[in-house]
Structure 1
Amino acid sequence: GRSNLSYEPRRLRVATPITQCLFLIPLATGSLPIGEQSEPLIMADTKLRQRKPQGVDKPAKKASATKSKSKANDDDDDYSPWLDILRVLSFIFIASCGLSYVISGGESFFWGMKNKPNYLRADWWKAQMKGPIYLTLEELSAFDGRDPAKPLYLAINGTIYDVSNGRRIYGPGGSYSVFAGCDAARAYVTGCFAEDRTADMRGVEDMFLPLDDPETDAHWTTADMKKLRAEELEAARDRVHQALKHWVDFFANSKKYHRVGYVKRDRDWLEKLPKRELCAQAQNGRKKRRINSDD
C-alpha cells in the first residue's frame, strides 16, 4: 500500500486546475494506474475546449435576416402600380368592344350604332329620372315640331312618345306630320290622316263589316243572318284591335323613340264627343257580303 503513494502529483502536467484536482483524487486512493487515470481526463478537457459558448450563431442569423429584409425592400422599390392599372384598362377596353359588338348585332365595336337602345341614350335616362309627364291635348299640341327648341311628341292610344329622332318624318313638312302634337289613334287604323286626328275609336269596326245588300242577304234566313252579323261584328272589332295594337307595339318597342308620359283626359271625355262617321276612304273600302257556294 505505501508503494502506491510514492507517485508525486507534480510530475503529471495537467492543462487546468480542474483536471488536476480530479486527477489527484484517484491517485490518493491508489485504485488505478497512472495511464488509465489520465486518459479520460484528457478527453474531457479536450471536449471542454471544443465546446462553443451559446449565442455564437446569432450574428450569422441576424446577418441573414438583414439580407432578406434588404431584398424585400428592393422588391418593393421595383413595384409600380401603373402596370396593374394598364392591365385593368386594357381588360375594360376589350370587354367594352366585345359588348358593343354583341349589343349592336355586329354593327360596331365602339358603340357607334345608328339607333342605340334606350339604356344607352342620355335623354332616355333623363326621362326615367324625371318620371312620366301628363299633358292635355292642348298642351300636347305645343310639341308638334314647329318650335325647334322643344322636343317633338306624338301620342297613340293615350301614351306620349318622344319622336324627336324622326323630326324629318314627323316634323313640319314630313310625310307623317299629322301625327305630331296629337293623339291620332283612329287615323292609324282608318288611314284618314287629315280627318281622323283623334283617339275616338267608336265606329271604326264598320270599315271591316260587309255592306248590307237585300239581294245578297236573301240567301240567309233571318235567324242565320242575325247570327252571321254577330260573328262579323266580333271579327271586325278584333281586326280593329289588331290594327291599332300593331302601331302601339311599334312605338313601345322602338329603339329610336321612347315613351315620356300620358295624355291627361277627363273620365267622360268620350261621352262629350259626338260619334264620328266613317271617313270616306274607309267607307269606300267596304264590300258586299260574299255568298258561299254551300249556301
Structure 2
Amino acid sequence: MTEQVAARRRKPEPQAARVEELSDSEADSFDEAERKVKEIRKQKAAARRRAEEQDDDYTTANLFVDILRVLSFLFLASCGLSYLISNGETFFWGMSNPPKYLRMDWWKRQINGPIYLTPAELAQYDGTDPTKPIYLAINWTIYDVSANRATYGPGGSYHWFAGCDASRAFVTGCFAEDRTPDMRGVEEMFLPIEDPIEDAKYWTPEELREMRRRERAEAKQRVHEALAHWSRFFAESQKYHFVGYVKKPEGWPKNEPRRKLCDAAAKGRRKRTPPKKDERKDGK
C-alpha cells in the first residue's frame, strides 16, 4: 500500500528524458516536422525579401510610367472638355469666344462689382485703342462687345454704337445722328402726319383730340418695346457681357436741346388712314 501511494506521488519525468525514450521512427517524425517548420520560416523570409525588392523596383522604375499615364489621361480629358465647351471649335482651349467663366475680366468684375463711367470715360472704349476692350451702352447700361471687334471696332458696320450710349439710334436707325440716350421725341416716328384739312373731313375736333392722345400713347409704347428688345438682346447674350453703368450728367436731359427727329425715321411717317364709310362722322 505504501509503495502504491509513493508511485502516485512521484513527479512525471521531464520531456527531454521522454524524448530519449522515443523509438527511432518517432524521432525521425519529430525531426521532419522541425525541418518543415524551418523551411516554412525560410519561405516566409524569402517572400518578404521579394516584396521589399518589388517595392524598390516600383519606386525607381514604375513611378515614372504611372505619372505619364496620369498626365496622358488629364491631357485627353482636357481636350475632350475643350471640344465640348467650344461646340467642336477646338481641342486646345483656343476659343475665339470663350464662355464668360473662362475670361479673367469676367472674374475681376465678379470680385470688384460693376463699374461706373461718365460719358467722357466711356468714349475711351470705342475700339480705337487695341489695348482696351470695346464698350457700348444702351439705356445707361454698359456691355463689353470686344468679342465682336470686327463689327463694333473701327471700320465695323456698328462702330457708331461703340464708346457711347446710343439708345436713340437703336430705335430710329440713324446711327451717325442719334448717338445719344436722349429718347425725347422719338415717338414721333410712329405718329401719323397731320393734315388738318383732310382730317377735318372725317373726324370732329373732339375725336381728333382723343385720337391724338391715343396715338401718342401707342407710339411711346412702341418706342419702349423697341428699346427693351435691344436691352434684352445684350443682357441675355452669351457673347457680350455686362460691365456696369453710365453716370447721368447732372441736370440731364433738361440742360440739352431737344433733338429733331432724324430724316430716316421721319420718312417712315404716313398720313392718317381715313375711316371706313360706316365709321365717318357724317355717315357719307
Structure-to-structure mapping, 1:192-211, within 5 angstroms: 192-211=174-193
Q: Give the equivalent residue in structure 1 for 2:247.
A: 264
Q: Give the equivalent residue in structure 1 for 2:84.
A: 102
Q: Secondary structure at the match of 1:93?
A: helix
Q: Deviations over 1:151-186 (max 9, x none)?
A: 433222112233345444434444333322221111
Q: Deviations over 1:223-266 (max 9, x none)?
A: 76566555544432332223223332333344544332211125
- Is it true that 1:275 corresponds to 2:258 in the alignment? yes
Shift in CA distance, 60/292, structure 1 to aligned 2, threshold 3 Å: farther
Q: Aligned partner of 2:43: which letter?
A: S
Shift of 1:190: 0.7
Q: Aligned partner of 2:186: which letter?
A: V
- Is it true that 1:284 corresponds to 2:246 in the alignment? no
- Is it true that 1:89 corresponds to 2:67 in the alignment? no
Q: Distance in 1 between matches of 2:137 and 2:166?
A: 7
Shift of 1:199: 0.7
Q: Deviations over 1:94-146 (max 9, x none)?
A: 22232222222233333343332222334433444443221111222233344
Q: Secondary structure at the match of 2:30?
A: coil
Q: Give the equivalent residue in structure 2 for 1:63.
A: 42
Q: Distance in 2 between matches of 1:292 and 1:87?
A: 82
Q: Aligned partner of 2:103: which letter?
A: R
Shift in CA distance, 61/220, structure 1 to aligned 2, threshold 3 Å: farther
Q: Which moved more, 1:224-233 or 1:236-245?
A: 224-233
Q: Secondary structure at the match of 1:66?
A: helix
The runs of 5 or more residues in structure 1 that have no matched partner are: 1-17, 19-43
Shift in CA distance, 51/107, structure 1 to aligned 2, threshold 3 Å: closer
Q: Distance in 2 between matches of 1:224 and 1:71?
A: 108
Shift in CA distance, 114/142, structure 1 to aligned 2, threshold 3 Å: closer
Percent of matched pairs sharing the same residue? 55
TM-score (normalizing by structure 1): 0.69
Alpha carbons 2:202, 2:275 under 8 Å: kept: no
Shift in CA distance, 58/281, structure 1 to aligned 2, threshold 3 Å: same
Shift of 1:287: 1.3
Shift of 1:189: 0.7
Shift in CA distance, 173/102, structure 1 to aligned 2, threshold 3 Å: closer
* Residue of structure 2 aligned with 1:72, choices 28, 51, 60: 51
Q: Distance in 2 between matches of 1:88 and 1:232?
A: 71
Q: Distance in 2 between matches of 1:217 and 1:103?
A: 64
Compare CA radii of gyration and give the structure with the larger one: 1
Shift in CA distance, 50/78, structure 1 to aligned 2, threshold 3 Å: closer
* Residue of structure 2 aligned with 1:120, choices 102, 105, 108: 102
Q: Give the equivalent residue in structure 1 for 2:18.
A: none
Q: Give the equivalent residue in structure 2 for 1:184.
A: 166
TM-score (normalizing by structure 2): 0.72
Q: Distance in 2 between matches of 1:108 and 1:217?
A: 68
Q: Aligned partner of 1:286: which letter?
A: R
- Is it true that 1:143 corresponds to 2:122 in the alignment? no
Q: Distance in 1 between matches of 2:27 and 2:239?
A: 98
Q: Deviations over 1:34-86 (max 9, x none)?
A: xxxxxxxxxx8548746738x93542332122122122123313322233323
Q: Distance in 2 between matches of 1:229 and 1:75?
A: 96
Shift in CA distance, 284/83, structure 1 to aligned 2, threshold 3 Å: same
Alpha carbons 1:116, 1:255 under 8 Å: kept: no
Root-mean-square deviation (CA, aligned residues, Å) is 3.4
Q: Give the equivalent residue in structure 1 for 2:229.
A: 246
Shift in CA distance, 70/144, structure 1 to aligned 2, threshold 3 Å: same
Shift of 1:217: 6.5
Q: Aligned partner of 2:242: which letter?
A: R
Q: Secondary structure at the match of 2:46?
A: helix
Q: Aligned partner of 2:179: which letter?
A: R
